[in-house]
Amino acid sequence: MSDQGIIWEEDAKSDPSIQGRTVRVRFVESKSDFQTTINGTRDEIANYYCGAKLNVENYPNEVLRTPRRLDFLPDSEDGQTVSYDLPESKRRLYRGYTIEGNGYGYAFAAVGIDGAEDSNDGRYGHCQSIDECKRVIDEQIADAQWKEGDNNNATI
């Protein structure tokens, strides 16, 4: 969590489906950024935009860009923005991890991790189902939060 009131997706708890959630869609070139409202959970919305090619110009020009980040804007002044970094390709996103079928089941990895050779800290693995991947990811995030809190004599 930063001083600007932003929470990254791995720190955000799962949330309910919300009607009319305000989202800022961000691209590499900020001139293409836009703000909209959309229905769903943060993960459902992130999965919708993940790897999408969006037309960011007006007719008759067609300029397709892939979003790089989503900012879920708070619905109150004292709320915090929750930001999701998006991978370039279409994958299922869950709390800062990607999940994709690999022919043997499902592989999960923290966003930015390309595979086992790139992750010596356990942020990569294989499971038999998407639900099992989500359970393991939840455990890893809880363990990481416990370790951080434990150093400060805090509990979660």
pLDDT for the residue 151:
43
Tokens at 49, concatenated: 């935009």
Q: Mean pLDDT over all residues of the chain? A: 80
Nearest Cα neighbor of 42 from 61, 1, 70, 64 is 70
pLDDT for the residue 118:
60
> Other CB atoms closer than 10 Å to residue 90's CB: what's the count?
13
pLDDT at 154 over 50: no
* 98 or 22, greater pLDDT: 22
- The model scores a pTM over 0.75: no
Q: Which of 24-33, 41-50, 95-104 has the lowest mean pLDDT?
A: 95-104
pLDDT for the residue 23:
96
21 forms beta bridges with 38
Q: Judge whether 135 and 143 are in contact, CB under 8 Å.
A: no
pLDDT at 96 over 50: yes
